[in-house]
Amino acid sequence: MSPPDPATPSAAAPRRRPVVIAHLSDLHLGAHDPESMGSLVADVTSAGPDLTVVTGDLTMRARRGEFEAVLQVLNALPRPRLTILGNHDVPLDPVRRLTRPYDVYQRYLPGPLDPVVEADGVRALGLQSMPRWRWKSGRVSRRQAGEIRRVLGSTPAGVIRLVAMHHPLSAGGLQTIAGRSGLVDALVAARIDLVLAGHTHIPMATGMSLAANGHTHRVVEVVAGTAMSTRLRGAPRSWNLIRIDASWITAQERRETGSRWSDEPPVEFPRVGPGSSGAAGGIADGVGDHAGDGVEAVAGEVAGDVAGDTGRRRP
């Protein structure tokens, strides 16, 4: 893994005003709506994010022409930017998939597959969660779990600790991410504030209590819908605008409505990471076990009702 870009502002100290993060996913260039492209870039730019995160499935079939179109979109989005690949960014051809799965991706997006980006008030680690030997579902390796501890565990108190990957931590059943137990251990040990993901095309914000090695920690997972794809799954195209201060993590879906993008009601979660105003009392007690890996989740759509009291919805 390479060190953060020296041109990127340092995340060494927290700041007073909220950190603003634009979170996009599942662009699927090659199966996208061309009219959404320009309006999406303009809408994200107008939000003035401190960090833009794109959580994979940039293309539909990992073709060179699709990656060329991806670059046009990514280069127009605000920087600094953290970009990771998804399952659609790995070729379908079995020989290429086994021998050179990431060659085309890295030809157009050179650099580490597990990138690190530092912005003002936030340190972010992206994880490549699509191994060559899995067809669709994801995996986080022991090495990657160790990177969470190494890169983010030493983050100064008050600075946001962010992990981004394509596959959601909260997915269950056949979609459960391989290596989940080790991932949970690392998220607890490094006291992560926020996990960003995509893959499902359904926007969701989830407050989860994680338990590992006798310790518990609450983390917020925000899953983005598809930003540009025609492959809708009961939800319109959207992206997430996330604001984080010392007390709250606020997730707000920006939905495409005709030629415009509009706000859905935000959902708020108390922030309990190191240096936050809720750190002293934010550690959960008596956490139950979900899927055998120390995860208890309370979830609600970013734009929908939130079950339980993990997130609160603002009008």
Tell me the pLDDT band of 212, cut-offs 50, 70 and 90: very high
- Residue pair 69/30 in contact by the 8 Å Cβ criterion: yes
Angle formed at CA 110 by CA 32 and CA 243, multiple of 5 degrees: 60
Cα 182 to Cα 194: distance, rounded to the nearest angstrom: 17
What integer pLDDT is reported at residue 77 of this predicted model? 98
Tell me the pLDDT band of 312, cut-offs 50, 70 and 90: low
What integer pLDDT is reported at residue 137 of this predicted model? 82
- Residue pair 183/167 in contact by the 8 Å Cβ criterion: no
What integer pLDDT is reported at residue 176 of this predicted model? 85
Residue 237 has pLDDT above 70, yes or no: yes
Q: DSSP string covering 153-166, please? A: TTPPTTSEEEEEES
Which of 51, 46, 31 shows the shortest CA–CA distance to 244? 51
What integer pLDDT is reported at residue 295 of this predicted model? 53
Strands (E), the chain: 19-24, 51-55, 81-84, 116-119, 122-127, 160-165, 194-201, 204-212, 215-225, 238-244, 248-257, 260-263, 267-270, 295-300, 312-313
User: In 10 A of CB 314, how many CB atoms?
Assistant: 10
The average pLDDT across 277-302 equals 40
Residue 158 has pLDDT above 90, yes or no: yes
Percent of the chain whose pLDDT exceeds 70: 81
What integer pLDDT is reported at residue 290 of this predicted model? 32
Residue 190 has pLDDT above 70, yes or no: yes
Residue 211 has pLDDT above 70, yes or no: yes
Element (H, E) at 73: helix 64-76
How do residues 85-101 score in pLDDT, each as one tens digit?
999 999 877 777 678 88
Cα 204 to Cα 25: distance, rounded to the nearest angstrom: 12
CA dihedral 55, 265, 287, 217 (to 10 degrees): 50
Domains and CATH numbers, the chain: 19-313 (3.60.21.10)
Mean pLDDT of the residues in the chain: 85
What integer pLDDT is reported at residue 268 of this predicted model? 96
Tell me the pLDDT band of 13, cut-offs 50, 70 and 90: low
Which of 186, 99, 121 shows the shortest CA–CA distance to 149? 186
**Could you tell me the CA-to-CA distances from 247 to 13, 124, 277 in Å, in that order?**
16, 19, 5
**Could you tell me the CA-to-CA distances from 256 to 210, 227, 229 in Å, in that order?**
33, 9, 12
Residue 38 in tokens:
């320009």
How do residues 248-264 score in pLDDT, each as one tens digit?
999 999 999 988 999 99
Tell me the pLDDT band of 181, cut-offs 50, 70 and 90: very high
How do residues 108-124 score in pLDDT, each as one tens digit?
999 999 999 999 999 99
Tell me the pLDDT band of 279, cut-offs 50, 70 and 90: low
Tell me the pLDDT band of 178, cut-offs 50, 70 and 90: very high
Percent of the chain whose pLDDT exceeds 90: 67
How do residues 36-80 score in pLDDT, each as one tens digit?
988 999 999 999 999 999 999 999 999 999 999 999 999 999 999
What integer pLDDT is reported at residue 1 of this predicted model? 43
Residue 23 has pLDDT above 90, yes or no: yes
The DSSP letter of residue 263 is E
- Residue pair 111/2 in contact by the 8 Å Cβ criterion: yes
What integer pLDDT is reported at residue 280 of this predicted model? 39
